[in-house]
Chains A and B, each alone.
Chain A
Amino acid sequence: MIIRTFRAELLKLRRRAVLAGGGATLAALTLLGTSLTFVTAKRVVTAPHSGQYPPETFTKLARASGLTLGFGNAIFMIGVLVFVVFLTSVTLEYGQGTLRVLLARQPRRAELLTGKALALLAATAAALAAAEALSMAAAIALAHMRGIDTTGWLSEAALSHAAAQYGNALLSCACYGLLGLMLGVLVRSTPIALGIGLAWLLPVERILENSWSGADHWLPGLVLGVVGSGGTTAVTYQAAVAVAIAYVAVAILVGGITFSRRDVTA
């Protein structure tokens, strides 16, 4: 049953507008993150940076991990995109009334939701692989333009970093997506769910981050950012993953029970 739902969901995702729109947005965010990383990089940081996100240095970018540093910096934006895609994939089913048609064909609701989530995760995995490849291509071009040494990028360590970065990005985006999906299940309305989700991830968490030192340990968007970047000096990767998984588990529990039991009147 889950396989049928998975395949049906893929049929919906494989449409030109989704592929073109989603692909173009993902490419734009990836290139933006990568470009900002390289364009704002300094040869040497001479004075302490006043902002929250200090620019990268040429030395750091020249390391084996430099090839995918730009991709890592784009993960937050990509995560928000994945959040929106997962969220709208379920709120639109409510809004268009297609959910009742699907449920009349596949009444096992938990399996319907699982199949949908798996299809979206599979699409996310493929899209992230393409995005990382695009980011690496852009990084090579930008490094040459800025005169950054790239000999360290042609090593086994660089490949290993790229694989780890992909894993972190996938885990982070999967969590963003599942949180978005469950928020969509709970709220059902596209504008309201988007409003709540984006307001929380963008301004609210940023404001709290500035006023609370423990924000990046506990707030979901920031924690997922830490997961995406493989850990920070303030929050370990393991701690961030544990908190992220806890958030997702609670969301799946609440969303899953709600989806299974609630009347479908749309």
Chain B
Amino acid sequence: MKTQTVTALSPPVKTSGLTKRYGARTVVDSLDIEVPHGAVAGFVGPNGAGKTTTLRMLLGLVRPSAGHGQVLSRPLTEPQRYLGRVGALIESPAFYPGLSGERNLAVLATLGGFGKTQIPALLRQVGLAGRGADPYRTYSLGMKQRLGIAAALLGDPLLLILDEPGNGLDPAGIKDMRGLLRSLADDRRTILVSSHQLAEVQQVCDWLIVIDHGRRVFQGPTAELLAMGGDELVLGCEDPADLARLQALLTRRGLPSSHLGDRLRVGLGDLVAAGDEDGVARVVADTNRAAAAEGIALVELSVQRRNLEESFLTLLGGTR
């Protein structure tokens, strides 16, 4: 995961009370989000949460019903003032089926006023070097997705907005995409990526925005969400008969535990601050020593980290 590089610069994406209604249905509901400069921000939420509508509003495709926002310090009402420095892939990639990948990029480069000379390099960057001259209609879903990324990179944008960039990619393609996103996430560029692939988001994104029913339910560093609910310490004894003694020992030491099959687990959330790796290590070492002193032989002493999927589901469970 990239180190968080939040700077004092104004956030490239910021919304306040952003709302979109279609008739009586509110798709995005008073959304306040902020993506720090230089962040790789994951934008996650269940289907129908309002992610794509929000991204469309950021790109000037959909007019907000209420609220306001800024992209690259320009108001959402004036997309022509910022879109020249924003690259986007919204929903599935959409190109002209009869044109080659190269010609499709040439159309967009011409439209955006960018040079066409960058096209071969972009095709190479996304792994389409040998297929640029082929008609788009012959591309696989993964290749279409790659071409969509190449299109988003035209003009070397300061902000990338990518909606499900991993869709249709095979595992190798997903790995390549992860590498590509990391390479693109230099200090100068900010990336907002919407995805259902939470494992990928966890690996790539340092900032997270979670929405549900059009409302923000979390915003902050990814580590903060992962730490919600805390890590767990899992302990197993060589002799199962020692389990009761071990539990009593843990309770005496202020580590209440519960059974996990023939093992014990201890929640660390209330004991160690989020992200305090030294604190976790200290608890592990102290527990190990105390067990040894009591003559209890441990065969397992491990820290179970929550993954983003668990944290996400816990978070959404609390909002439903």
Contacts and interface: CB of A to CB of B under 8 A. Distances in A.
Contact of A11 (B79, B107, B112): B107
Interface residues of B, number: 30
A107 B63 CA distance: 12
A101 interface: yes
Contacts of A98: 94-96
Interface in A105-140: 105-108
Interface in B88-115: 88, 90-92, 94-99, 103, 106-108, 110-113
A265 B112 contact: no
A90 to B, nearest CB: 14
B110 A104 contact: no
Contacts of A60: none
A8 to B, nearest CB: 4
Interface in B37-95: 56, 59-63, 79-80, 83, 86, 88, 90-92, 94-95
Contacts of B94: 96-98, 100-101
A89 to B, nearest CB: 11
Given A97-B92, A105-B111, A107-B83, A12 B56 contact: no
Contact of A264 (B61, B96, B97, B112): B61
A19 to B, nearest CB: 11
Interface string A1-39: 000110110011001111000000000000000000000
A84 B75 CA distance: 38
Interface in A137-161: none
A45 interface: no
Contacts of B88: 104
Contacts of A242: none
Contacts of B59: 100, 103-104, 107
A5 to B, nearest CB: 6
B188 to A, nearest CB: 21
Nearest to B78: A107
Given A4-B111, A11-B103, A106-B111, A97 B79 contact: no
B63 A11 contact: no
A106 B111 CA distance: 7
B83 A101 contact: no
B193 interface: no
Contacts of A103: 59-61
A102 interface: yes
26 contacts: A4-B110, A4-B112, A4-B113, A15-B103, A17-B98, A96-B94, A96-B95, A96-B96, A97-B92, A97-B94, A98-B94, A100-B61, A101-B95, A101-B151, A104-B86, A105-B112, A105-B154, A107-B60, A107-B79, A108-B80, A263-B56, A264-B61, A264-B62, A265-B56, A265-B61, A265-B62
